[in-house]
Structure 1
Amino acid sequence: MLQRIFIFCLLSGFALPAMALQSQPDKETQRLAEKVIELERSLAILQISTATSDDYQALESQIETLSSQQKTSQQATARINFLSNLVFLMFVALLLCLFQLRRQSRQLSALSNSRQDEK
């Protein structure tokens, strides 16, 4: 039992840092966030200055496009994190099943050996 707990802790110790590295935002998402902030700042400056409505609408459409791209990349990151967690849990379940199978095969072989000794 202690071996199982030790192996589980060891496996989770290897898997958790890998999952933590995956959950950090990538450079593309950071770049998009910075670009949105810059465009919003430019929009505020244009609102104060004497800009035409075409400039205002062009900046607004760029902001909408970039914010939708940012949301899409965040959703993709969330899907990847979910799938990596799911794969890890399935791997742990597989290991547990293999340990149970090994234990049951030992019990079965011990039982068959004891029956052969009785005969």
Structure 2
Amino acid sequence: MLYRLVLSVFLVFCLSTSIAATSASKEQQKLAQTVFELERNVAILQMSTLSLEDYQVIDEKMAQVLSLEYRVNFLGNLTFLLCMALVVFFFQLRKQNKRLLALEKSKGNTDES
């Protein structure tokens, strides 16, 4: 009887902590959403007070970022193609090695005869 009582108290404790944890996580999500909205509103406010020169500076920086992105994409594609070429090269080398071993084996058999 005491065992059942202890087990039921333990289960109630576990359930209450899990319920409290889910309610705390919902509050954290709501708080994170509020912080995100506040940051977005601050960014909008800052953008609305910019001058034409500030927009031009932002445009130039965006162009630099896009240029850098194109370079990174090109280098990534080039690296991928080089890796694929190496894979094909090693498969061809393995195939050539098998052919050479088979040729040497067949030549060794004809020399012994």
Give the TM-score of the pair, scaled to structure 1: 0.52
Q: Which runs of 5 or more residues in structure 1 are unaligned?
A: 1-34, 44-58
Structure with greater contact order relative to length (CA < 8 Å, sep ≥ 6): 1
Q: Percent identity?
A: 29
Structure 2: gaps spanning 5 or more residues = 1-42
Q: What is the CA–CA distance in structure 2 between the aligned matches of 1:112 and 1:98, rounded to whole Å?
A: 21
Tell me the amino acid that sits aligned with residue 105 of structure 1.
Answer: N
After superposition, the CA RMSD in angstroms is: 2.3
After TM superposition, the structure 1 = structure 2 runs for residues 50-61 of structure 1, keeping only pairs within 5 Å, are: 59-61=51-53
Larger radius of gyration between Structure 1 and Structure 2: 2
Q: Is 1:87 matched with 2:44?
A: no
How many residue pairs align between the two structures? 70
Superposition deviation, residue 61 in structure 1: 1.0
Runs of 4+ in 1 over 6 A off after TM superposition: none
Distance 1:104 1:69 in 2: 52
Partner of 2:88: 96
- Cα deviation per residue 1:5-39 (whole Å; 9 max; x = unaligned)? xxxxxxxxxxxxxxxxxxxxxxxxxxxxxx69x53
Query: Partners of 1:78 and 1:115 in 2: how far apart?
Result: 55
TM-score, length basis structure 2: 0.55
